[in-house]
Amino acid sequence: MTAGCAPLAPCPKCPPAKPAPETAVYLQFTFDGLPGWPSADLDRSLRTFLAGCPRSGPFSQVCARAASVPPDDPVAARAFFEANFVPYALVSSDGPDSGLITGYYEPIIEGSRTQSGENRYPIFGVPDDLIVVDLAAVNPDVRNMRLRGRLDGRRVVPYPSRGEIDARGVPAQVIAWASDPVELFFLHIQGSGQVRLENGERIRIGFADQNGQPYRSLGRYLADRGELPLDQTSMQSIKAWAAVNPAKLKEALNSNPSYVFFRELPPAADGPPGALGVPLTPEFSLAVDRRFAPLGAPVYLATTHPITEQKLERMMTAQDTGGAIRGAVRADFYFGTGPEAGAVAGRMRQQGKMWLMWPRGEPPPRPD
């Protein structure tokens, strides 16, 4: 208690109490209680889980059993999940048992290997002066937190923001040059994508690092300024707004100080890799807050499709993370590659519920 503050009376000089950090409550469930469980496509769910199965810790024995399940056998896949996992409903300590489910995809943007009048927006690799401080070495309780910055003499200072990087650049390799700043901005938001070169060749790039600045929603920025209604902000509506408001575009884009740096992936890559390090599977890979849903774990999702509004109930696998994905009941649904996937992902802002699948006999994970 702050000195001089009476515990039962208001005190204008007292600093406001900090809200307790969110945590997760894991409520044991049954498979019969999962919405849509009898009709779920579990064979593809099992293949996605197996692709990045964490073969250590509580999953070690489960992964070995998963490898022995024959493919294209939905009955065997269902038996595997029911025999090896216990569903736990994810509930926020703040109260809600439902949360926001958004969508993302792998965009394909136009660009070139060399700078030109048309292609003049750089896609940077990791800067030489970017410093990453892993806080786990200082405090194990924050093992999933990392600070990013650069050296200024003997001091570590924040790394430049989006606006500063766009104005002055960074000491980094330029992987390619993009033709459209808005498409490049959304490439940063998605975290991976492809660049179609002038000769038709494509190069695939994936998330390598980030400048450490906080993510700020461009949709929220435009809504707060009366440019777009908040309930109508989507990737499509933002692109349409940008096309008719070129004078306001730079300020709007720079409202999100977060900036992503990329790495070029092998041409034969099966798909964009998520934070787990394995290629994402369209419509079966999920980005989560890893504090509450460990990467590699199956997560049952119950939400609705953003266009058809039909029920979307599916066993996903937690294979990715994202700067905006924060919360116990919060996820990003991966839709795949290209404009068709983007048309759906850009409209995905649905409410949904999540159940963490955890190996039988193991206590549910402790939130980080």
- CATH 2.40.240.50 positions along the chain are 104-264
Residue of 115, 162, 333 lying closest to 260 (CA atoms): 162
CATH of domain 24-101+280-334+350-359: 2.40.40.10
pLDDT, one tens digit per residue, over 282-311 is: 999 999 999 999 999 999 999 999 999 999
CB atoms within 10 A of CB 240: 12
> Which pLDDT band holds residue 56 (cuts at 50, 70, 90)?
confident
CATH 3.40.1260.10 fits 104-264, yes or no: no
Nearest to 281 by CA among 297, 270, 266, 268: 270
Q: Where are the alpha helices (DSSP H) in the chain?
A: 42-51, 60-67, 74-84, 162-168, 181-190, 218-224, 235-244, 246-253, 339-345
Residue range(s) of every CATH 2.40.40.10 domain in the chain: 24-101+280-334+350-359
Pick left, alpha or beta for residue 336 (phi over 0 → left; psi -120 to 50 → alpha; otherwise beta): left
Contact 360, 86 (CB under 8 A): yes
For residue 248, how far is the Cα from the chain centroid?
Answer: 27
What single-letter amino acid sits at 29? F
User: What is the distance between the alpha carbons of residues 101 and 335, in angstroms, rounded to a whole number?
Assistant: 12
The pair of structure tokens assigned to 315 is 């066993």
pLDDT-above-90 percentage for the chain: 74
- Cα 247 to Cα 18, 216, 241, 244, 252: the distances in Å are 40, 20, 11, 9, 10
pTM (global) more than 0.85: no
SS3 of 32, please?
Answer: helix
Instruction: Give 10's contacts (C-beta < 8 A, 6+ positions apart).
Output: none
pLDDT tens-digit series, residues 325-367:
999 999 999 999 999 999 999 899 999 999 999 999 998 887 5
Strand partners, 286: 318, 333
So what's the pLDDT on residue 147?
A: 85
Residue 353, Ramachandran bin (φ over 0: left; ψ between -120 and 50: alpha; else beta): beta
